[in-house]
Amino acid sequence: MEFYKYTGAGNDFILINNYNGELPDLSEKQISFLCNRRFGIGADGIMILKKHPDFDFEMEYFNSDGSGGTMCGNGGRCIVAFARKTGFINDYAKFIASDGIHEAYILNDNIVKLKIIDVKKIEKISNDYTCYTGSPHYIRFCSNIGSSNVYEEGQKVRFSDKFKNEGINVNFIEILRDNVLKIRTYERGVENETLACGTGAVASALTYAEINNLKSGEIILNAKGGRLVVNFEKKNNGFENIWLSGPADFVFKGIINPPVNI
């Protein structure tokens, strides 16, 4: 099986071209093996590019533990770059993912700008917030998150009674200055901190906008793996015209035979 490795601000993915539908489905154990950083290729998740009659392609996403994923923002940007590299698009794509239809543009320097679904509401839970941006997110504003134990604190929220069944991604946000945030994220399915999270960056940016009553604008988020930018407009108590921009870089490609008897 031929694969491609991409990274979006440190969020790394295995990309597989199954546009012709010739490859068999991968099992959860095979996906987990491929994403394993010691025995497999190593990745935060796997994306499969599939043919769709009404769009440029369909994006199918799996978490690194083999479970079916919801939308992945950085993954969405990477699969657009992959679609151009493999000749399915030029600099624009319209594709479908688990949460609906997305558009994307490939800009200079491997920057991909991806449209995110509209966000209807942000809910407050005690001093924290939740927001759905194609994946469910929990947002906590903190100071000095560089010294935070994101793994331990993220697990407490993710496996709490309220969220343990479905799971939730947990974002820790530090405000550096106006419209500039620092972000660290614990991701369900990976069950660890990742270097970036696209839908988490969007959820955190919109929550910041909601708290500060911003009607539109651009918010910069500095993740461990790189910089992400979120643009938005607020309409009818929700958010529309939401775009996530950031790097989507090809790393390498190879061939691997996923083990059958696992």
How many C-beta atoms surround the C-beta of residue 212 within 10 A?
12
Calpha distance 211→233 (Å, rounded): 14
Residue 174 in tokens: 């530090």
Q: Which of 105, 143, 92, 93 is nearest to 231 (CA)?
A: 105
Angle at 49 between CA 77 and CA 220, to 5 degrees: 10
Calpha distance 66→135 (Å, rounded): 16
Task: Just list the catalytic residues.
Answer: 72, 197
Q: Which of 23, 208, 54 is nearest to 46 (CA)?
A: 23
